[in-house]
Amino acid sequence: MERIAYAEAARVLGESPHSRRWEEYMASIMESAAGDAYDPDNAYPDGLPEVFFWEAD
């Protein structure tokens, strides 16, 4: 996700019951950027590493 106002996007997603339910559902197959256990209570930290980048021609 690329977002100019990441903190605002994280706040909105963090307050969404749908997003929260998704984070809890996915927790068993996720891990943190450092390889630690995933914490659905901290689903949107200050930043995440870029994993994919695609630029259309």
Count of C-beta atoms within a 10 Å radius of residue 37: 9
Please determine, for residue 1, whether its predicted confidence score (pLDDT) is greater than 70: no
Cα end-to-end distance, the chain, whole Å: 20
pTM for the predicted model, two decimal places:
0.54
What does the pLDDT read at residue 47?
62
DSSP assignment string, 20-40: HHHHHHHGGG-B-TTSSBP-G
Nearest Cα neighbor of 37 from 25, 29, 49 is 29
Mean pLDDT of the chain: 79
Range 19-36 average pLDDT: 81
Which residue is listed with tokens 């950027």?
Answer: 33
What does the pLDDT read at residue 17?
93
Please determine, for residue 30, whether its predicted confidence score (pLDDT) is greater than 90: no
